[in-house]
Structure 1
Amino acid sequence: MSDHPFAVALEGDAAGAHPAATVPASDALTARRLATRVVGAERFGLTAVTFDDSPLPVADAVARLDAVQRAAFAAPLTSAIGLVPVVHVAYSEPFHVATQLASLDWASSGRAGWIVAASGTAREAAAYGRDELAVDELRRERDDVIEVARRLWDSWEDDAVIQDAATGRYLDADRLHYVDFEGERFSVKGPFITPRPPQGQLVVVAPAGAAGADVALVEGIDPAAVAEAAAAARAAGAERVWAEVEVLLDARGVPAARRLAELGAWPATCRLRHIGDAAGLASLLEELAASVDGVRLHPAEPDVDVEEVGRAVLPALRRTLGFRSPTAGDTLRETLGLGRPVSRYAASAVKELA
C-alpha cells in the first residue's frame, strides 16, 4: 500500500458513459441537476468530481456553461470534494485560463484542479479562426500552457498582499515577479492579476506524457495494461497516476447484465470496464491500487451507479486500502498527499541571498 491516499474521482458530467444514457430534457441544463450530483458525490465521500467540456457546443445541446463555470457554481455548495474541470488550451488565451482556474481555487478554498485537454480538429480551428494543429503541435501547445500557468500562479509570493493601512499599500511590489514566457505560438509577460491561489499551484491532471502534470491519466483494457501504462507515466515523471475505469453496477435490485441489455450495446473503448456487482468493482480497484494512486470512474448512468459506489464500494476500500474521504477544510493537494509548492520566484530569491 502506498504512503499516500488512494483517490476515487468521479466524472460527473452529462448523462453518463453509456451512449444510451439520457436525462430529461427539462433537467439537462438545470442548476438543480448539477448541484444534486456534486453534493451527492461529496456526501458519498468521493475524492473529487470532474467536469467534462468541449471546444465546440455539444451536438443537440441548446446551451451549455463551460466546465470552469459549473465547477465554480458547485464550489459554495460543497466543502470537501475536489472540483476538477476540463479546460481546452489549443485556442484559449493562456493568461485567461490561468486566471479562471486561480479564481476557482479561491472560490473553493483550495479544492480546484485542472484537467488539461488539447483538441484541434479542422472544425474547431475554423470556429476560432485559427489554423489546424498537428498532433505534435497540440502536445507542445499543451505543455507550454501548463508551464506558463504555473509561472503565473507563482508570480505572486504567498505574502505579497500586505494590506498596510498605515502606508496605504495593498501589495508589496517586491513580492510580485515578472513572467517573461515565449512559447511556440504565444508569449506572456508581466505578473498575474490575482493573488497566488490557496494551493500555491492547482492540481494539474493530464493524459500521461504531459509535461508538468501532477496526476497522469492512463488507460488500459485490463489491469496488466493499466500497470504497464502507469509504469511508463511514472518513468516520464508523473507524481500520481489515475486509471480511467468505466462502470455499470448491479443497482436498485437490477443486475448489471439486465441494465446493460436494456441500455443496448456499449461500444468498446481503450478504458478498463467493470460490469457487475459492487464487490467485484472493489476487488478490481484493490488490484489496481498496486500500480496506480487512484481511479476516475466513468459511470454508465451516474445517478444510478454513483449511489452504489458510495453505498458498497467505498466502505470496502476503507477496510482494504485505508481509503479516506476528503475532509472539509483540506485542500485538494492535501487530500491527494501532495505538498504545497513554494513559489519558484521566492525560492530563487532565497538562493540568491544565500
Structure 2
Amino acid sequence: MSAPPQLHLAVELDGVTDSVPALVAAVERAEAAGFALVTLDDGPLPPPSGTRIEAGVRAAYLSRRTTRVGLAPALPVTTTEPFHVATQLASLDHASQGRAAWVVTAPNGAGELATVGRTPLADADLRRETADVVDVARRLWDSWEDDAVVRDVAAGRYLDADRVHHVHFEGASFTVTGPLITPRPPQGQVVVLAADTLGVTGRADVALVGADASTTLADRVARARAEGAPLVFAEVDAAFTGAGPVTAERLRPGGSVAALRTLLADLAGVVDGVRLHPATPEDFAVLATQIAPGRPVDGPTLRDTLGLPRPVSVYAQSA
C-alpha cells in the first residue's frame, strides 16, 4: 500500500546522504520511486558534520543526472544577493529543463548573518526583506519575455531588445535594476516553496505548514489557502504515532509504517502534498519502497507535475 495518489510527495534529503555519490543515488532512487520533488537543505553556517557543497550547486549537479523529479535547493534571502538567487534558480531551471524549485529560507541568527557582515533583523524587517526578495526574483524571471530570444543569424540578432525589460525594483534594503542575465526559465517562473511562518504565503506556489501546540494542521492549512497559496504541503517526519486529528502529537518521530500510511490517508483530504523528513538513510529507504507511488511522476516540468499553470510574464501582459 502506498500513499494516496492525489498527494504530491516531496522528500528532504538533508541527513540522508553524506557524499556526492550517495546524494546522486538517493535522488535517482527518489525519482524512480515517484517523488514529485526533492529538497536540499542549506544555510550560511556549515552543518555539524562539517562542510558541504552549497544546495544550489548540488541541485545543478543533479539536474543532468535526473529527468523527472523536481529539484528544490534551500537558498537564504538574508545572506544571498537577490539578483544572484534569481539567476542561480533560472539557470537551474534551464539545466533541468523545467524542474527547478526554491525553498525560501530566511536565517536571522547573529552567527548566520555575521557571515555577510550583517546583524539580525527585527521581525517586521525580516518579513519585508523576505517578501522583497521573492517579489524581485519573480520580476527578474519575467524580465525576458518568452520570445525575447530570436536567434536571427542573417540579421546578426540574438535577441529582441524590446522584449527584455529592466525591473527597476526598490525594496526596503536593496534595489535591483535588472534585467536578468539569463533568458526566461522554461517554467516561466521557478516553483516557490515557503513556510507559512515567513510571511510570504501569498507569494509562494507551495506553502509548507505544520502543527504546533496551539494550532492544528487544518487551521494552518485553512489560513494558508485564505492567504492565497495555490498549493499547501504538510511538513511531516518519516514516521508518526497515534491516530485521529492531525495535531502536534502526531508529528513526532518513532511510529510505524502503518501509522504513516494512516496519517497520509488522513492528510489526503486536507493538503495537496507532504514533504517527508527522513532522519537516516534507512528511513529514506522505507519511504522509497513502502510509501512512494513506485512510478515516475508525470512531468515533464515540475509545474506540470504539480498542476500549476505557467505564468505569463507581467511585462508581456503590460505590453
Normalising to structure 2: TM-score of the pair? 0.90
Which 4+ runs in 1 deviate beyond 6 A?
A: none
Q: CA shift at 1:300, angstroms?
A: 2.5
Q: Which moved more, 1:171-180 or 1:119-128?
A: 119-128
> Is 1:42 aligned with 2:20?
no
Matches within 5 A, 1:1-354: 5-15=6-16, 28=18, 30-61=19-50, 63-208=51-196, 209-210=199-200, 211-220=202-211, 225-248=216-239, 272-273=251-252, 275-301=254-280, 303-315=281-293, 325-327=296-298, 330-349=300-319
- Mapped partners of 1:126, 1:185: distance in 2: 17
Q: CA shift at 1:60, angstroms?
A: 4.5
8 Å contact kept, 1:279–1:313: no
- Mapped partners of 1:71, 1:90: distance in 2: 20
Give the counterpart letter for 2:29 in structure 1: G
8 Å contact kept, 1:214–1:238: yes
SS in 2 for 1:128: coil
**Whose radius of gyration is greater, 1 or 2?**
1
CA distance 1:8–1:60, change in 2 (3 Å): closer
CA distance 1:270–1:12, change in 2 (3 Å): farther
Deviations 1:177-215 (A, max 9, x none): 111000000000031111000000000000113141110
- Mapped partners of 2:259, 2:48: distance in 1: 35
CA distance 1:271–1:203, change in 2 (3 Å): farther
- Mapped partners of 2:49, 2:235: distance in 1: 27
Q: CA shift at 1:115, angstroms?
A: 0.5
- The Cα RMSD (Å) is 2.1
Deviations 1:107-131 (A, max 9, x none): 1110010011011212222221123
Give the counterpart letter for 1:113 in structure 2: A
- Structure 1: unaligned runs, 5 residues or longer: 16-22, 250-255, 257-268, 319-323, 350-354
Q: CA shift at 1:308, angstroms?
A: 2.0
8 Å contact kept, 1:5–1:337: no
Q: CA shift at 1:325, angstroms?
A: 4.1
Give the counterpart letter for 2:143 in structure 1: S
SS in 1 for 2:254: strand
SS in 2 for 1:101: helix
- Mapped partners of 2:203, 2:11: distance in 1: 23
8 Å contact kept, 1:279–1:312: no
Paired positions, count: 305
Q: CA shift at 1:136, angstroms?
A: 1.8
Normalising to structure 1: TM-score of the pair? 0.81
Give the counterpart letter for 2:97 in structure 1: S
Give the counterpart letter for 1:135 in structure 2: D
8 Å contact kept, 1:247–1:273: no
